Structures are given as C-alpha cells and as structure tokens.
C-alpha cells in the first residue's frame, strides 16, 4: 500500500481545516479563538522552554517535542512553534498518548504556537517497587 493511499484521508481532513480560531482545532483546544485553555488568556501560560520547528514537517516536530520533553522537569511547559498545520492534530494526540497535558495554541502571522505541560507522575502507592 502506497503512502499516498495511507495519507489521503488525513490530507483530505487537513485540507478542510479552517484558520486557527475559526473551529479548525481539535475539540478542547479552541473555540472562536478563545477558550479557558487559550494560552494568551490573561497571560495564564508561561513557557519554561521553547522549541522552534518552523520548516519541519510531520513527524519531525513530534519527535523533537518528545526529545525536549524528556529533558524537562515535571510540570514545566514547552512552547512548540510550527508552520505545519498537521501539528494541530498530531500534538494533542501525542500528548494524550504520552500522558502530557495539551494546554492550547494560538496563531501569530504564519506560525502556530502550541503549549504542552510535562506530566507530573503520581507517587507510587508501593514505594520501592
């Protein structure tokens, strides 16, 4: 099976995306440009690190995000900057799978700024195991 067959449904979905803030984001990430998780709302989010992936395409921004998150402390926030609209689908899904918290995003000029909070591991109920 060729990659064009595998990617066709995804590319069709991406082609139908609206501009950020107009219902193009995954549920819970934005609605009408402002949501409770909007990173710019009242200056609520302060990133502890920044990762510029402009010019890189899937899956490289996700791979680089994973590598950067491994070097961060629990609870710290990473700002990922991208111009690849696929990241609007990929990053929230990756966060769910990896256990990190997707905080939201905004678009400035031609860049998408996304925010991820590194998961905080709960202490084991069985110390020493």
Q: Could you confirm whether 58 is annotated as catalytic?
A: yes
How far is residue 123 from each of residues 16, 74, 119, 120, 126, measured CA to CA in Å? 43, 12, 12, 9, 9
Residues 66, 93 contacting (CB under 8 angstroms): no
| The two three-digit tokens of residue 97, written as one number | 């799978």
DSSP one-letter string for 65-76: HHHHHHTSPTT-
Q: Which of 58, 72, 81, 98 is catalytic?
A: 58
Which residues are marked as active site?
Answer: 58
């Amino acid at each position: 099976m060729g990659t064009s067959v595998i990617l066709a449904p995804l590319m069709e979905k991406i082609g139908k995306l609206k501009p950020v803030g107009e219902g193009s984001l995954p549920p819970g990430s934005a609605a009408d440009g402002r949501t409770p998780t909007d990173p710019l709302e009242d200056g609520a989010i302060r990133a502890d690190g920044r990762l510029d992936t402009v010019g890189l395409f899937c899956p490289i921004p996700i791979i680089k995000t994973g590598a950067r998150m491994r070097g961060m402390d629990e609870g710290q926030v990473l700002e990922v900057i991208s111009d690849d609209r696929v990241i609007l689908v990929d990053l929230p899904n990756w966060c769910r799978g990896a256990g990190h918290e997707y905080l939201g995003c905004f678009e400035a000029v031609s860049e998408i700024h996304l925010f991820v909070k590194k998961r905080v591991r709960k202490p084991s109920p069985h110390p020493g195991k």
